Structure 1
Amino acid sequence: MESKAEELVRAAEALQVHGQAHDGVDPKGGDIIIPGGMFTYQVVIRSERIYIVQITYLGF
């Protein structure tokens, strides 16, 4: 999960260079499937943050 989250942060940094100056709508969050489960995230550009809002462990 950590490597996927880091990947997500790098992509957000590349796409949203002027985070604090952003005055539009934040992009829709999403789900990332990883071995054994998934996690749901939300990007908040103006705060320059990516929030993990749910972690689902499927036990395999």
Structure 2
Amino acid sequence: MAYRINEDECIACGACQSVCPVSCISELENGKRKINEDECIDCGSCASVCPVSCISQVD
């Protein structure tokens, strides 16, 4: 399992990227973030710091 960011709800704050222990979150050209699901270790750190709760677990 991994996590995914809903790009429509992301406010481009970067909080998730700063806490990711495996650096699998990258910044897109529009400033929003994207999680590389192949590298995600399913720790949930990103979801716990997201101020708009736009990060969820992938089924």
| TM-score between the two structures when normalised by the length of structure 1 | 0.26
TM-score, length-scaled by structure 2: 0.26
The structure, 1 or 2, with the larger RCO (C-alpha pairs under 8 Å, 6+ apart) is: 2
Kindly name which structure, 1 or 2, has the bigger radius of gyration based on alpha carbons: 1
